[in-house]
């Protein structure tokens, strides 16, 4: 149990370091991959819903504290995203890489939608702003993260499988 906890803690720590150091360096037109969301997605499908909910909640809360946003905004969006991804725990559902990619994309969209809706409610934004935000920020970030995130899945499902065969 402790070993598992340390493994995930180490992975998040690594993702955190990479997010603060590597992500700005590999950004394209200001679009950075969200490595923490990727790790949250992996955690969700590997370990299930409950760890994903708590990790999502605390990750979001940390983001709320260290970024000028409404307290609880990221916590709520990441909790929901973690819950959503946790529904597809690989112990319960067998999913192929394409479906995983779709899930990851949906998880990003869900996270950003919740975030933007909270923002709209609290600060009085419009649907037009949310749409623009989704089109100009969420989708490029999701695809970029997806590109990076799918690499381990493709490696595991295709390359390693091919080597085994």
Partner 1 sequence: MHWIVEFVVKHRSSCSFLVTIVLSLWMISGPPEFQARASRFLTLTVFYPFQVTFNNLTHIRNIFSENRHLRQEVARLNTEVSRLLELKSENERLRGLLDLSQDFTYELLPVRVVARDPSIENKSVIINAGYKDGVRMWMPLVGEKGVVGKVIQVMNGLSLVQLIKDPSNRISILSSRSRTVSILETENGRSFFFRCRNHEDVQIGDTIITSGLGGIYPKGLRVGQVDRITDSQNPLFKRVWVELSVDFDRIEDLFVLLLSPQWQSFREELDSLEMQR
Of residues 74-93, those binding partner 1 (CB under 8 A): 75-76, 79-80, 83, 86
Shortest Å, Cβ 151 to partner 1: 25
Number of residues that bind partner 1 (CB under 8 A): 29
If the CB atoms of residues 76 and 103 are measured against partner 1, the closer one turns out to be 76
Window of 13-21, 37-45, 105-113, 145-153 that interacts with partner 1 by CB under 8 A:
13-21
For 58-76, b/e burial (b = at least 16 CB within 10 A) is ebbbebbeeeebeeebbbb
Which two structure tokens, joined as six digits, stand for 111? 């996270």
Instruction: Report the candidate in 92, 84, 7 with the shortest Cα–Cα distance to residue 52.
Output: 84
Residues that bind partner 1 (CB under 8 A): 16-17, 20-21, 48-50, 53-54, 56-57, 60-62, 64-66, 70-73, 75-76, 79-80, 83, 86, 118, 122
């Amino acid at each position: 149990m402790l070993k598992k906890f340390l493994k995930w803690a180490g992975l998040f720590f690594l993702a955190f370091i990479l997010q603060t150091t590597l992500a700005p360096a590999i950004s394209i037109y200001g679009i950075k991959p969200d490595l923490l969301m990727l790790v949250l997605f992996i955690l969700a499908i590997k370990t299930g819903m409950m760890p994903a909910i708590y990790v999502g909640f605390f990750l979001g809360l940390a983001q709320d504290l260290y970024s000028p946003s409404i307290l609880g905004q990221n916590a709520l969006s990441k909790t929901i995203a973690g819950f959503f991804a946790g529904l597809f725990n690989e112990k319960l559902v067998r999913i192929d890489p394409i479906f995983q990619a779709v899930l990851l994309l949906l998880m990003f969209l869900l996270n950003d939608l919740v975030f933007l809706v909270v923002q709209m409610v609290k600060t009085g934004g419009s649907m037009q702003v949310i749409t623009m935000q989704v089109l100009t920020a969420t989708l490029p970030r999701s695809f970029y993260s997806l590109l990076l995130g799918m690499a381990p899945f493709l490696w595991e499902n295709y390359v390693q499988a091919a080597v085994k065969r």
